[in-house]
């Protein structure tokens, strides 16, 4: 009903709100599209926002980001050169936040492991 692609679903909902608004001088989703939107919302809350594996890892992810932030605030010399150049203009906090925000999940986890988790002895020698 809403569409198979993300953009199609958004378009369907927006067009329905506009259609209903023009006809009724009110804004809401009704009928089949309203019901489908409610079902989608329910599904997302149950399976993505609240009950998902990703949600259960949220605390760990937040800790990882916080620790990376504190580390790079203390060790700004370890930022990539292009970010170090931005500090004078934008300030350390913003630059460090921008650097971390640009990390993929995999890169952030790898950085965290490299910085905070000791390497096995076999890899040191």
pLDDT in tens, 11-40: 999 999 999 999 999 999 889 999 999 999
What are 79-105's pLDDT values in tens digits?
A: 999 999 999 999 999 999 999 999 999
How many angstroms separate the CA atoms of 73 and 12, rounded? 45
Task: State the pLDDT at residue 125.
Answer: 62
- pTM of the entire predicted model: 0.60
d(CA 77, CA 92): 11
Tens digits of per-residue pLDDT, 32-67?
Answer: 999 999 999 999 888 877 777 777 888 999 999 999
Residue 2: which of 42, 39, 47 has the closest Cα? 39
For 101-124, write each residue's pLDDT tens digit: 999 999 999 999 999 999 888 766
SS3 state of residue 121: helix
């Amino acid at each position: 009903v809403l569409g198979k692609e993300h953009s199609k679903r958004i378009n369907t909902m927006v067009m329905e709100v506009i259609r209903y608004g023009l006809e009724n001088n009110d804004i809401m989703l009704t009928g089949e599209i309203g019901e489908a939107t409610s079902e989608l919302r329910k599904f997302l809350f149950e399976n993505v926002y609240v009950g998902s594996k990703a949600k259960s890892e949220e605390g760990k992810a937040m800790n990882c980001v916080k620790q990376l932030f504190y580390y790079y605030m203390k060790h700004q010399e370890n930022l990539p050169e292009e970010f170090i150049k931005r500090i004078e203009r934008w300030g350390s906090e913003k630059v460090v936040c921008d650097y971390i925000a640009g990390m993929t999940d995999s890169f952030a986890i790898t950085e965290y492991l490299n910085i905070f988790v000791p390497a096995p002895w076999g890899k040191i020698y």
